[in-house]
Chain A
Amino acid sequence: DGGITQSPKYLFRKEGQNVTLSCEQNLNHDAMYWYRQDPGQGLRLIYYSQIVNDFQKGDIAEGYSVSREKKESFPLTVTSAQKNPTAFYLCASSIEARGRALNEQFFGPGTRLTVL
């Protein structure tokens, strides 16, 4: 199905390695987001981007990096500096414009990252 795709679905990483999670959307949305989900916790915002070539840190950006070279793509790199990277990562997108508070965020299927 279309919308937002994330790959891979499962990812295993050795300590000290960087890994990149893919997020692609064909909804022509301006804004894209990365969240982290841990058991017993609400989703936490890592990074977001409201327009191509621009992105902002969220609440837990340390140890992560992103790029937004194309409107439809927003890859997330989990670096070796991230102390506890094992989690479920969710990408989302929305038609974003300032003041449009009802913009719905559409989520991808997620990537489960496990550090061995």
Chain B
Amino acid sequence: KNQVEQSPQSLIILEGKNCTLQCNYTVSPFSNLRWYKQDTGRGPVSLTIMTFSENTKSNGRYTATLDADTKQSSLHITASQLSDSASYICVVTLLTGGGNKLTFGTGTQLKVEL
């Protein structure tokens, strides 16, 4: 079964600290992996996208890594800010004969405190 699992489920850190969120997937055949940020009550916004041939991608203070062999990805947030408080969702694209199918993780809820 194609699945995307994220850990931890929730995380609280102090402003200015770094953190790393994890994503493990069993989706095959794999096309690409995306990280989205979703503020409470809003739609998700894309942070990064990586194909199987890429192992790192940065977007400002966000850096995503991908190990296609072990089917693991991580999202590292540097020097966290209060505005980073949100849910971070890992999304894996499955290649199918009828197009591309997205499988969503359940997200990691991050709270940044003073």
Q: Which residues of A contact B (CB under 8 A)?
A: 4, 40-45, 50, 88, 90, 92, 96, 98, 101-110, 112
Bound-complex Cα distance A56 to B11 (A): 37
Q: Which one, A43, A44, A50, A107, contacts B99 given CB within 8 A? A: A50
Contact A102 B32 (CB under 8 A): yes
Contact A101 B93 (CB under 8 A): yes
In the bound complex, how far is the Cα of B107 from the Cα of A112, in angstroms?
Answer: 19
Grouping DSSP codes into helix (H, G, I), strand (E, B) and loop, the B interface class, with mixed when no group exceeds half, is: strand
Minimum Cβ distance to chain A for residue B11 (Å): 16
- Of chain B, the residue at the smallest CB distance from A98 is B99
**Chain B contacts for A42, CB-based, 8 A:** 4, 89, 103-107
Contacts of B28 on A, CB cut-off 8 Å? none
Residues of chain B within 8 A (CB-CB) of A110 are: 41-43
Q: How far is the CA of A105 from the CA of B103 in the complex (A)?
A: 13
Q: How far is the CA of A75 from the CA of B103 in the complex (A)?
A: 23
Per-residue CB contact flags for chain B residues 1-13 toward chain A (1 = under 8 Å, else 0) read 0001000000000
B interface residue numbers (CB < 8 A to A): 4, 31-32, 34, 41-46, 49, 51, 89, 93, 95, 99-107
A102 touching B51, Cβ below 8 Å = yes
Closest Cβ of chain A: how far from B3's Cβ, in Å? 9
Complex: chain B residue closest to A100, CB-CB: B100
> Would you call B43 and A109 a contact (CB within 8 A)?
yes
How far, in Å, is A36 (CB) from chain B's closest CB? 11
Task: Identify 20 residue pairs between A and B in the complex whose beta-carbon atoms are under 8 Å apart, listed by A's number.
Answer: A41-B106, A42-B4, A42-B89, A42-B105, A42-B107, A88-B41, A90-B43, A92-B43, A96-B99, A101-B95, A102-B51, A103-B100, A104-B34, A105-B46, A106-B46, A107-B43, A109-B42, A109-B43, A110-B42, A110-B43
